[in-house]
Amino acid sequence: MTVPTATTDVLLRTEGRAGFVTLNRPRAINALTHAMVLAVDAALTAWEHDPAVDTVVIRGAGERGLCAGGDIRAIHDDARAGGSASADFWRDEYRLNARIARYPKPYVALMDGIVMGGGVGLSAHGSHRVVTERSRVAMPETGIGFVPDVGGTHLLGRAPGELGTHLALTGGPVGAADAILTGLADRYVPAAELPALAGDLTRLPADEALARHAATPPPGVLDGQREWIDACYAAPTAEEIVERLLDTGVPAAKETAATLLTRSPAALKATLAVLRRSRALATLEEVLDLEYRVSCAALATPDLVEGIRAQVIDKDRDPHWTPATLEEVTDEDVARYFARPAGGDLGLAAEGATGRAPGARA
């Protein structure tokens, strides 16, 4: 049964015991708008209290991916105008991320293709997270002068060793095996079997349906790079991380240093600070509160507008960061990312939103 929504960018349907959410902006790789966030949240409300729906499934329309993130063109325009639309969007988006993590029914995310930024927030907090051989999962924010959000620092801060620090700072994508290794996914299912899996989810419990299709993913790369990743990213500062990467003598480490030096220096330092603070926080809600402060602060920085311009608007891939180097980013610059937003804090932790379904992620 098709369920109407306030936007055609989210399609809802129920079949058998499952409710299906399909993000429906395939030309934009299903990038999220505020209306889409509200539509997904409304569906979760309706299905949470519908005894006929036992499992929720989220997937993306088209062949390119589940979701490429938030609508960063809209964020760019809002930041240039000094508006509040982005902060309003993040307030509802982050609340949705927290809700997904504690949803009382199985929440199956089909993470096929590109899953980045806000797409990670819609999927990696779920109870059942499925990747395929086509999956490319990333938090690429430092490349646009932003900082990982949607609970990304919560997830990456709990990855083995310093793998999460590596992914957060570089913004690099990972495939199926590495997504599972770093805690961003649970199961691998070949892309060709996703239609059959979706069919089984309409008539079987989620665990049983997944067990029928789960397989061993193709080998990843991160496990074999743990030695230099853990040693280099354990450094106390971003500058020293780069120095260690350059000094290892490992070609992949030197390439990584070169990548870091193309990222926003301010965003790199802020990301490292957020990631390390998030490790000391007990709940996802606390981390989302922290990330909300940082996201609102980033909106007022020149790097966010410049990064989106270079990567998405003009596509010249030549951002001019302010400050231009890591050494020029002061402790005061980083501290400003943690200031209370003018519109107030998110306040998820203060609301006591910590109840979770058995097996959901904290």
Using CB atoms within 10 A of its CB, is residue 19 exposed (0-12), middle (13-18) or buried (19+)? buried
Given 65, 118, 171, 307, the catalytic residue: 118
- Coil, strand, or helix at residue 2? strand
Residue of 78, 112, 149, 303 with catalytic role: 149
The residues with which 131 forms a beta bridge, in sequence order, are 111, 188
- Looking at this protein, which amino acid is placed at residue 294? V
Give the span between the Cα atoms of 267 and 106, in whole angstroms.
Answer: 35
Instruction: Note the Cα 11 to chain centre separation in Å.
Output: 21
- Rounded CA gap, 271 and 14, in Å? 40
Q: Is 250 exposed, middle or buried (0-12, 13-18, 19+ CB in 10 A)?
A: middle
User: What is the H or E stretch that residue 92 is in?
Assistant: helix 85-101
For the chain, the first-to-last Cα distance in angstroms comes to 33
Site of tokens 């570089």: 170
Instruction: Write out the E strands in 160-222.
Output: 187-188
Omega prior to 323 cis, within 30 of 0 = yes
Do 298 and 345 meet the contact criterion of CB atoms below 8 Å apart? no
Q: Which of 9, 71, 93, 141 is catalytic?
A: 141
Quick check: is 162 catalytic? no
Residue 336 CB: number of other CB atoms within 10 A?
A: 16
User: What is d(CA 37, CA 52) in angstroms, rounded to the nearest whole number?
Assistant: 23
Is 149 labeled as catalytic in the residue annotation? Answer: yes
Between CA 46 and CA 84 the distance in angstroms is 29
Answer yes or no: 118 catalytic. yes
From the candidates 19, 65, 70, 157, give the one annotated as an active-site residue. 70
The residues assigned a catalytic role are 70, 118, 141, 149
